[in-house]
């Protein structure tokens, strides 16, 4: 079957841009992204909504071959199993390689076990290939995890307590370099990892909106605010990383909050502008950033 993307396609699409797993009326989706690098589609994180987000970008699901999961918080992998299963029902018949933290393969085994009746039925009744056999896993660790000619992926352990296996990713082709921060507290070392990238996709939260957010959530105690402050990055600090790294453009994703009508795009811009006056994208679901135009 014809591939959906051409060698001349170089873009990043932000499919889900809210931080955290909950969705509400009118909210955006949890985290997932598609990078198309010299026509090769790479899925980064699989929060709720990833499958619909990919097809809305024009991707044929049977082209699914490479997935990265940055860490095991549900807003980043809740839909990994459903994505692969749905791709299988859409005609997937080629290997899928998943790079993720230790434990991601156990998630997959348990997902397949939970869908055992349906999967066996479709193999027997519809002649589908063996789903489990199509998928392989590599545990992420720091360093270079893919080094093909014209396509390299390197991995950096960020800081997102209490998790330990939590990673930033850097994708390099002959034409472009793209870095995803993953979920992380402000980590100055990320500017070195992001050096001279065309695009840095960095998580961000808006300081002045956090008190209202904790009140709105309602069913937690002061641990939620403590978690936010020690595990995530303020928008102005994401700007600082971009400036120190000398990237061409910064895109904010994993926005916290994403659904407070009292705060909008201008608030995010103002926060980032304290340290970064270059090209800035405030992430929105479905936003496509053409790397060749940066």
CB of 217 to Zn ion, least distance (A): 15
CB of 134 to Zn ion, least distance (A): 27
DSSP state of 294: -
Range in contact with Zn ion (rule: CB under 5 A) among 172-180, 181-189, 212-220, 272-280: 181-189
Using the Cα atoms of residue 125, residue 127, residue 132 and residue 137 in order, give the sign of their dihedral: negative
Range in contact with Zn ion (rule: CB under 5 A) among 2-10, 79-87, 167-175, 183-191: 183-191
Judged by CB, which is closer to Zn ion: 183, or 285?
Answer: 183
CB of 160 to Zn ion, least distance (A): 5
CB of 162 to Zn ion, least distance (A): 10
Site string for Zn ion, 74-103 (x = CB under 5 A): -x----------------------------
Tell me the two tokens of residue 203: 């998580």
Told to check if 183 binds Zn ion by CB under 5 A, we report yes
Judged by CB, which is closer to Zn ion: 152, or 165?
Answer: 165
Number of residues that bind Zn ion (CB under 5 A): 3
SS (H, E, C) 14-29: EEECECCCCCCCCCCC
Beta-bridge partner residues of 189: none
Judged by CB, which is closer to Zn ion: 88, or 182?
Answer: 182
Decide: 53 and 34 in contact? Cβ < 8 Å: yes
Residues 6+ apart with CB under 8 A from 185: 158, 159, 160, 161, 230, 231, 232, 233
* 156: helix, strand or coil: strand
Among 73, 85, 202, 232, binds Zn ion (CB under 5 A): 73
Told to check if 63 binds Zn ion by CB under 5 A, we report no
CB of 193 to Zn ion, least distance (A): 18
Judged by CB, which is closer to Zn ion: 152, or 260?
Answer: 260
How many angstroms separate the CA atoms of 182 and 286, rounded? 18
Report in angstroms the alpha-carbon separations of 151 from 40, 148, 174, 263.
Answer: 9, 5, 7, 39
Range in contact with Zn ion (rule: CB under 5 A) among 65-73, 150-158, 169-177, 267-275: 65-73
Range in contact with Zn ion (rule: CB under 5 A) among 93-101, 130-138, 175-183, 208-216: 175-183
How many angstroms separate the CA atoms of 293 and 281, rounded? 13
Return the residues of window 131-160 that contact Zn ion according to CB under 5 A.
none
Judged by CB, which is closer to Zn ion: 73, or 157?
Answer: 73
Report in angstroms the alpha-carbon separations of 221 from 154, 214, 225.
Answer: 37, 9, 8
CB of 26 to Zn ion, least distance (A): 20
Judged by CB, which is closer to Zn ion: 17, or 51?
Answer: 17
Judged by CB, which is closer to Zn ion: 29, or 191?
Answer: 29
Q: Which long-range contacts (CB under 8 A, 24 or more apart) does 124-130 make?
A: 128/88, 128/89, 129/88, 129/93
Question: Dihedrals φ, ψ of 76, to 5°?
Answer: -120, -10
CB of 223 to Zn ion, least distance (A): 15
Decide: 131 and 90 in contact? Cβ < 8 Å: no
- Please give the residue ranges that form the binding site for Zn ion (CB under 5 A): 73, 75, 183
């Amino acid at each position: 079957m014809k591939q959906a993307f051409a060698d001349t396609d170089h873009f990043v699409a932000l499919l889900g841009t809210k931080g955290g797993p909950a969705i509400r009326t009118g909210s955006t989706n949890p985290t997932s992204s598609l990078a198309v690098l010299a026509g090769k589609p790479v899925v980064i994180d699989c929060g709720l909504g990833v499958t619909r987000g990919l097809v809305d970008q024009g991707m044929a699901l049977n082209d699914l071959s490479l997935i990265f999961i940055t860490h095991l918080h549900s807003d980043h992998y809740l839909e990994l199993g459903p994505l692969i299963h749905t791709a299988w029902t859409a005609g997937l018949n080629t290997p899928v390689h998943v790079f993720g933290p230790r434990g991601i393969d156990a998630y997959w085994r348990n997902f397949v076990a939970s869908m055992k009746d349906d999967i066996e039925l479709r193999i027997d009744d519809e002649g589908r290939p063996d789903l489990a056999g199509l998928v392989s896993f590599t545990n992420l660790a720091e360093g270079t995890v893919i080094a093909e000619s014209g396509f390299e992926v390197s991995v950096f352990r960020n800081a997102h307590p209490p998790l330990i296996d939590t990673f930033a990713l850097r994708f390099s082709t002959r034409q472009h370099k793209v870095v995803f921060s993953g979920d992380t507290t402000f980590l100055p070392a990320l500017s070195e990892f992001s050096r001279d990238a065309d695009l840095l996709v960095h998580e961000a939260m808006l300081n002045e909106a956090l008190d209202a957010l904790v009140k709105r959530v309602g069913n937690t105690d002061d641990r939620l605010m403590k978690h936010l402050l020690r595990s995530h990055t303020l928008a102005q600090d994401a700007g600082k990383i971009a400036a120190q790294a000398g990237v061409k453009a910064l895109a904010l994703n994993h926005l916290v909050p994403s659904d407070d009508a009292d705060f909008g795009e201008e608030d995010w811009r103002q926060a980032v502008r304290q340290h970064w006056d270059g090209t800035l994208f405030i992430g929105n679901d479905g936003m496509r950033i053409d790397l060749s135009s940066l």
